[in-house]
Amino acid sequence: MPVYYYIFLSATLFTIGVIGVLVRRSAIIVFMCIELMLNAANLLLVAFSKMHSQAIGATHPTAATDAQIFVFFSMVVAAAEVSVGLAIIVLMYRNVHSVDVNFLNRLKN
């Protein structure tokens, strides 16, 4: 299967995530859209790793494995990011009793 199928699938998922971040105002939904964008990038990294394991696998046998380790570490960082981000959202809900991101303009003026 040519790699451009995966490129366009990942671009579509990433774009849906961008639209969600721009359009929705609930902080939880915005955060989930960020997770979706991270997953789209991970999917493309895995697809490229399989592409390169076929193209240059004979001369660089560890290239595909290194790429997938990279995806693994990106998942690790995403898990740590979610725990802190959700704690911040809980704190915001406790202070303003809403998860609407439009309430987060308190630093203005």
Partner 1 sequence: MSITEILFWFLSVLAVGGAMLLVASKNPVHSILYLIITFFAVSGHYILLNAQFLAIVNIIVYAGAIMVLFLFVVMLMNLNADSEPPQKNRLLLYSGTIAGCCLLLVLVAALKQSSTTSQLVEMGGGDAGLIKNLGMALFSDYVFPFEISSVLFLSAMIGAVVISKKEA
For the chain, what is the radius of gyration of the CA atoms?
18
Please give the residues from 80 up to 109 whose contact with partner 1 meets the rule CB under 8 A.
80-84, 86-91, 93, 98-100
Taking the C-alpha atoms of residue 101 and residue 25, their distance in angstroms, rounded to an integer, is 5
Q: Residue 94 burial (CB < 10 Å; 0-12/13-18/19+)?
A: exposed
Q: Which is nearer to partner 1, 87 or 104 (CB)?
A: 87
Tell me the per-residue interface mask from 7 to 46 with partner 1, x by CB under 8 A, - otherwise.
Answer: xxx-xxxxxxxxxx-xxxxx-xx-xxx-xx--x--xx--x
The least CB distance from residue 19 to partner 1, in Å, is: 4
